Amino acid sequence: MRSAGADHAQHLDAHRQLSLEQALEFIMDDECLEVTPNFVRLRKTVLNRGKRNRERGARKHAVEA
């Protein structure tokens, strides 16, 4: 018997190795840059997707007002 998800293959791109300068150019307004001696990481400042959407909506309405 085959599993239900066997027919659905997903392709994931490999992560990018960014330098500090490249990461600063690549970063968006809702992200922060985490720098350690060994790694440079991009991550969302608000990890919860629902909260991010509410904040984005609040910023949009603040700009319109």
DSSP, residue by residue, 1-65: ---TTTT-----PPPP---HHHHHHH--TTEEEEE-SS-EEEEESS--HHHHHHHHHHHHHHHH-
**Residue 50 corresponds to which tokens in the numbers above?**
């629902």
Please tell me the distance from the alpha carbon of residue 22 to that of residue 19, in angstroms, as a whole number: 5
Per the DSSP assignment, residues forming a β-bridge with 35 are 40
- Give the tens place of pLDDT for each residue, 2-61: 666 666 778 888 888 889 999 999 999 889 999 999 989 999 988 899 998 998 889 888
Q: What pLDDT score does 3 carry? A: 64
Report whether 42 contacts 31 (CB < 8 A): yes
